[in-house]
Structures are given as structure tokens and as C-alpha cells.
Amino acid sequence: SFPQRIFSGIQPTGTLHLGNYFGAVQTWSALQNKGEDVIFCIVDLHSITIKQKHKDLKENIQLMAASLLACGIDPQKSILFQQSQVPEHTQLAWVLTCLCTVNRLNHMPTYVEKCAELKQSPTGLFLYPVLQAADILLYKATHIPAGLDQIHNINLANHLTQLFNNKFDKIFPIPQLLPQDESAGKVKSLKDPSKKMSKSDLDSNSKIEITDPPEVIVRKCKKALTDCTSAVTYDPENRPAVSNLITLHALCTNQLPQDICTQVKHLNTGQYKLLLADVLVEKFKPIRDEIEYLMKSKEHLEKVLLDGSIRAQAIAVETWDEVKSKIGF
Ligand code: ADP
Ligand code: NA
């Protein structure tokens, strides 16, 4: 019986998009505000598994910190920190690497997908889910709030925990994905609803970022894929693109998709996209303003991350000491 602790990470690879917001960050701040023991990590080590513009990385880390703060993450109520400032992450990852078979990693769906896009894939990309498992185990986290895209990675963390516990000693809780409301867990690309909305999607029209100015939100909504039926109806199976738009609307206004369809039954999909744009602009305006304000004070952001990293490391060191003694180091 381990105390409940919540851990989640996010890569500093660009601004938060609506999938990150509804699939992860909104839930994080809700958990924090319920008084849960919560740790949030900006996973910069994970972000360099794919090509980065290194001259922008620091700025992107600060932008992610500002974005999380603007979305309600409160460093007084949670630990918000930067992964690379706590070296125990890579140390524990190495130990887990030694428990994990190559075969298991070869079959991780995200790896298979990313490999298909690249000519040569770096070993870091292969080991990505092992590092993620280390992030979780280091804090003995019991629950991981994340989108459904993370299910395979959490299953691997689960598997590695059991291997460690069986081989050495039962020092780690078995981490579980904290499931979200189904629609929030899977926000789709605006250009191709068979794909999730993703930071790494090169088509900027596929995603709306929480810092997009109103005119950009309007433009992206106008360009969003629909189908040849003009009525606005919610049918995720047969009309995935239109249904994804209604889902976003429903997430913004806390309504049921069906109720939205009733309200907009006089609109065609083209007109509906403009209404959705208005809803999104209004929902994210305060957050966008706050990010802009926070980004004016980089020292403050750096201090928030440093304070958080010190608190995170205090926990990480304890776990690492325990791991070392079990292994025989
Ligand atoms: P991305 O895949 O966009 O690079 P990350 O891998 O940094 O995003 O994931 C950050 C968090 O956002 C994770 O909890 C992930 O599950 C969630 N997330 C990412 N994309 C989506 C999406 N399209 N729908 C719901 N949640 C998502
Ligand atoms: Na991802």
C-alpha cells in the first residue's frame, strides 16, 4: 500500500495545443486543486529524442513553464520542475534499460510510427518509454493522468515495475493511467481525424495552440476538414472530422455534444466553424494573456523551475539510494 501520488510529464516541444490542454493539463490542475499529491515535469530529455532547434530549447522550456502556470498549475500546491535538472532520471532509466528487452521496445507503437517517418532513428527514441518509466518510478507515482495515446507507455512502466519488484524488492507501486473523460483523451488533428492532434505534426493547420491569436484560430477553424454533409451532427464513427470539432466545443463549454447540435441546427458546417472559432477565442483569451505576461519575466520562470527541481530531487535522491542498495551498488 503506497500513498497516492500523481505524476505527469510534457515535452517542451512547442506551445500547448488543444489536445494537450484537454487531454492532460486541464486534468492536472483539477487534481492539484483537489489537494492531491501532484508532480508535473517538463521532460526536456525526452524532447531531444527527435530533432530540436537547440537555440530555441531554453525559450521553449520557459514557454512551457509559463503555459502550465497560465493553465492553473500552482507551484505552491504542486511540484513543477524540469527533468534535466534532476540527474536521477537518467540514472534510474539506465537500470530499467537493463531489465527491458529489445524485443519489447521494438514493438512500442509510437516508436514504430516515428521510425516510419525517419530514415535513421536515434537510440534515444527507442529508449523513450524506458526514460518515461524512470520518471514515474523515481517518484513512486501511483497514477498518471495522460491522454489515451500514452496507454502503451504506461503499460511498459507497469511491466518494468513488476520486473524490478520481482527481481529486487517490492519498493515500487504499480503505476496506472488515470483515465480521462473519453473525448478529452483523444483530440484529433483538424486536417486528418485518423491522427491525434500533435505538437510534432508539421502541418500547423492540424492543431490549434492555446497561444494562437484570434485571427489564427479563425483561419484554422475555417480550414478544418469537414465532409460533404452540411448539417452539424455528432457521429464520431461516420463523421469523425465534424464530430471532433463538436467535441472541442463541448470541452470548452462543458456541454454534451448532442446539446450543441440541437443549438446549432440552423447552421451549416461552414457557419458552425466560425461559431466554434468564437468559442475557442473566448475560452483561451485569459490564458493567452497570462502567458504573454509571464514570458516578460524569464527570471521568475527560471526560479519557479529551480525551486521545483530542488523539491523533486529531494524525493528522487531517496528513491535512487534505495535502488542502489537493492542492486548492490
Ligand atoms: P505531443 O504528442 O503533442 O507531443 P506530449 O507527448 O508532450 O504531446 O504529451 C503531453 C500530454 O498531452 C500527454 O499527457 C498526452 O497524453 C496528451 N496529449 C497529447 N496529444 C493529445 C491529444 N491529441 N489528445 C489528448 N491528449 C493528448
Ligand atoms: Na506524444
pLDDT in tens, 134-160: 999 999 999 999 877 899 999 999 999
Q: Is pLDDT larger for residue 245 or for residue 14?
A: 245
Give distance in angstroms: CA of 172 to centre of ligand 1: 25
Model confidence at 321, in pLDDT bands (50, 70, 90)? very high
Output the residue whose Cα is nearest ligand 1's atom 4: 199
Our mutation pick for probing the ligand 1 site, out of 8, 13, 20, counting the most ligand atoms within 8 A of Cβ, is 20
Sign for the pseudo-dihedral over CA of 210, 63, 70, 180: positive
Give distance in angstroms: CA of 198 to centre of ligand 1: 7
User: How far does the chain reach from its first CA to its final CA, in angstroms?
Assistant: 27
Q: What residues are labeled active site? A: 114, 196, 199
Residue 253 neighbours by CB under 8 Å, 6+ apart: 260, 279, 283
- State which ligand 1 atom lies nearest to the alpha carbon of 189: 23
What pLDDT is recorded for position 168? Answer: 98
Instruction: Kindly report, residue by residue over 98-135, the tens digit of the pLDDT.
Output: 999 999 999 999 999 888 888 889 999 999 999 999 99
Of the candidates 127, 172, 120, 171, the residue with the CA atom closest to the CA atom of residue 153: 127
Q: Is pLDDT larger for residue 307 or for residue 147?
A: 307
To the nearest whole number, what is the mean pLDDT of the chain? 95
